[in-house]
């Protein structure tokens, strides 16, 4: 029996193999299927193995990874992945993740990871510059937009005057009904936040949208007014910049004026489209993000960072500290003037997320990031033009960024397009997702992976046409 970690020699030789494999994976990605259909039962059977009592050679584990895990993945890093919002584990991001794992520092307090905490502040300041958010705002990196929005909703709730939620909580007292507002097209993470905080799904008011899927401010105003008349307590509005289905953009300034007037917390979910702010011609489409009391933007969506990293920024000074700060005896340490991130979130142990963002922004530069986002928008518009000029297809929403909602015209369009999606994804050539727009099945073609080029979008269009024609004539 030996103790301790694997030897340095073993680590070095395995590390070389792993990095060689990753390089080949990227080199050959174009030739492998984006996804391989396999039933959950079959997959569970293939991966099932007994709890290992004896140590196994790393070579064997690596072989199993290559032979039993990789072939049954949906490859998000694939250039022909066009579903949901595609993301990217870019080279610099992967290098940074590897280094962060090697250091394994814990950013709960400044003193537990000084330069890592300082770097988190540095990248948050960069993000503020990138999306034009006030420099004196506060912020934190979270694992994703869903938790970021949950934390924002919690902070907003704690800011409601006269409640003393911190000490008294929500139960066992007579309180008004808390109300949250968002458009019908906002992401379900806001519903989850309301669910988690005990607000209840019935109290998430879904404000109707206009013909371009943007929240209608006059309906927001009317809902708030009606709720106040009923004695409810409105406290939180979420506007979205880049909704999940169509990437529509809510009218931020009008919504912000309503929130100011009504003294409501405005949260802006710009998790997908927020970084489009760095592209001058897209900046007006994004709008003025600085109106948000809290803002979420996701480097793990459209900024080439591997999962998981999201930036949560807010303006009300101390709001998150007042909500989450709690320092037990075993975490007290001398004041060193640094930020103790554990006091801004319910999370204690935190990984070194800032490193990948630092690496990605530095290695591509603002210029490189800008050009890449621009190219994705160009590719999506190329695809939208093909849809628009083909009489057998129709586009179902505007394309402000890099996502196209479309369908094939048919006598039974929902059935036809559902079948088309299944057929397309079964080919393994491309991967698309769908949504429903006013009850109509819409296929979503989203460009966001750093490896996607013109030829991949052209291949995708050819395949979509072929499969659609196959169904129509089959």
Interface residues with ligand PLP (CB under 6 A) are 85, 144-146, 187, 189, 240, 242-244, 269, 271-272, 298, 310
Residue with tokens 């790393």: 58
> Tokens at residue 341, please?
């991130």
Where b means 16+ CB within 10 Å and e means fewer, 75-91 reads: bbbbbbbbbbbbbbbbb
Distance between CA atoms of 450 and 464, rounded to whole angstroms? 22
440-446/433-437 β-pairing: antiparallel
Nearest CB to ligand PLP, comparing residues 249 and 408: 249
The tokens for 36 are 């391989």
Q: How far is the CB of 405 from ligand PLP (least distance, A)?
A: 14
Question: Edge-to-edge strands of the sheet including 403-408?
Answer: 393-395, 403-408, 440-446, 433-437
CA dist 247 and 212 (Å) reads 10
Minimum Å gap between C-beta 309 and ligand PLP is: 9
Residue among 35 and 240 whose Cβ is closer to ligand PLP = 240
Q: What is the 3-state secondary structure (H, E, C) of 270-323?
A: CCCCHHHHHCCCCHHHHCCHHHCCEEEECHHHHCCCCCCCEEEEECCCCHHHHH
Alpha-carbon distance 296 to 286, whole Å? 13
Give the HSE-up count for residue 429: Cα atoms under 13 Å, Cβ half-sphere.
17
User: Which of residues 74 and 325 has its CB atom nearest to ligand PLP in the complex?
Assistant: 74
Distance separating alpha carbons of residues 246 and 131, to the nearest angstrom: 21
Q: Which two tokens stand for residue 228?
A: 């106040």
Task: Return the number of the residue (34 or 83) whose C-beta is nearest ligand PLP.
Answer: 83
CB atoms within 10 A of CB 375: 16
Alpha-helix residue ranges (DSSP H) falling in 306-398: 319-324, 354-389
Please, which residue, 128 or 267, has the CB nearer to ligand PLP?
267
Minimum CB distance to ligand PLP smaller for 163 or for 238? 238
Least distance from C-beta 187 to ligand PLP, angstroms? 3
Query: Residue number with the shortest CB distance to ligand PLP?
Result: 144
- Its sign, for the CA torsion 125, 131, 132, 133, is negative
Residue 436 CB, shortest distance to ligand PLP, in Å, is 15
Please, what is the minimum distance in Å from the beta carbon of residue 310 to ligand PLP?
A: 5
- Start-to-end CA distance of the chain, whole Å, equals 65
Shortest distance, position 142 Cβ to ligand PLP, whole Å: 8
- Rounded to the nearest whole angstrom, what is the least distance from the CB of residue 269 to ligand PLP in the complex? 5
Q: Which of 273, 339, 280 is nearest to 114 (CA)?
A: 339
Q: Which is nearer to ligand PLP, 399 or 408 (CB)?
A: 399
- Of 109, 13, 130, 59, residue with least CA distance to 332: 109
> Looking at beta carbons only, is 187 or 419 nearer to ligand PLP?
187
Go through 275-307 and write b for each residue having 16 or more CB atoms within 10 A of its CB, e for each that does not. bbbbbeebeebbbebbbbbbbbbbbbbbbbbbb
Nearer to ligand PLP, 245 or 323 (CB): 245
Q: Which residue lies nearer to ligand PLP by CB, 33 or 242?
A: 242
Considering the complex, state which of residue 238 and residue 457 has its C-beta at the smaller distance from ligand PLP: 238
């Amino acid at each position: 029996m030996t103790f301790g970690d694997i030897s340095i020699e073993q680590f070095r030789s395995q590390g070389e193999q792993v990095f060689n494999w990753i390089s080949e994976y990227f080199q050959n990605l174009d030739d492998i299927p984006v996804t391989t259909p396999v039933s959950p039962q079959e997959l569970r059977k293939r991966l099932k193995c007994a709890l290992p009592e004896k140590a196994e050679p790393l070579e064997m584990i690596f072989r199993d990874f290559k032979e039993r895990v990789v072939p049954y993945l949906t490859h998000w890093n694939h250039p022909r992945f066009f579903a949901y919002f595609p993301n990217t584990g870019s080279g610099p991001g992967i290098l940074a993740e590897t280094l962060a794992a090697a250091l394994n520092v814990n950013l709960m307090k400044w003193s537990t990871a000084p330069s890592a905490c300082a770097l988190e502040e540095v990248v948050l300041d960069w993000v503020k510059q990138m999306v034009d958010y006030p420099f004196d705002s506060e912020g934190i990196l979270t694992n994703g937009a869903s938790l970021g929005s949950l934390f924002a909703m919690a902070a907003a709730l704690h800011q409601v005057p006269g409640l003393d939620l911190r000490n008294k909580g929500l139960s066992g007292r007579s309180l008004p009904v808390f109300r949250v507002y968002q458009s019908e097209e906002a992401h379900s993470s806001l519903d989850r936040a309301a669910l988690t905080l005990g607000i209840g799904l019935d109290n998430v008011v879904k404000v109707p949208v206009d013909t371009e899927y943007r929240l209608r401010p006059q309906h927001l105003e009317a809902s708030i007014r009606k709720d106040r008349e009923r004695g409810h307590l409105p406290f939180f509005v979420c506007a979205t910049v880049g909704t999940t289905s169509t990437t529509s953009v809510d009218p931020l300034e009008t919504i912000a004026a309503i929130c100011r007037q009504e003294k409501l917390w405005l949260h802006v979910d710009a998790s997908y489209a927020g970084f489009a702010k760095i592209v001058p011609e897209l900046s007006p489409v994004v709008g003025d993000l600085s109106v948000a009391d809290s803002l979420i933007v996701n480097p793990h969506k459209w900024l080439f960072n591997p999962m998981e990293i999201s930036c949560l920024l807010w303006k009300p000074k101390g709001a998150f500290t007042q909500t989450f700060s709690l320092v037990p005896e075993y975490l007290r340490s001398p004041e060193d003037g640094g930020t103790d991130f554990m006091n801004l979130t319910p999370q204690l142990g935190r990984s070194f997320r800032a490193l990948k963002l630092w690496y990605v922004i530095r290695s591509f530069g603002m210029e490189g990031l800008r050009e890449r986002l621009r190219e994705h928008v160009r590719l999506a518009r190329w695809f939208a033009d093909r849809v628009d000029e083909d009489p057998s297809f129709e586009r179902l929403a505007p394309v402000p960024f890099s996502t196209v909602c479309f369908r094939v015209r048919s006598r039974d369009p929902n059935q036809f397009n559902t079948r088309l999606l299944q057929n397309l994804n079964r080919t393994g050539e491309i991967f698309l997702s769908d949504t429903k727009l006013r009850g109509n099945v819409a296929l979503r073609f989203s460009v966001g992976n750093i490896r996607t080029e013109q030829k991949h979008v052209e291949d995708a269009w050819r395949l979509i046409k072929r499969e659609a024609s196959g169904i129509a004539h089959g």
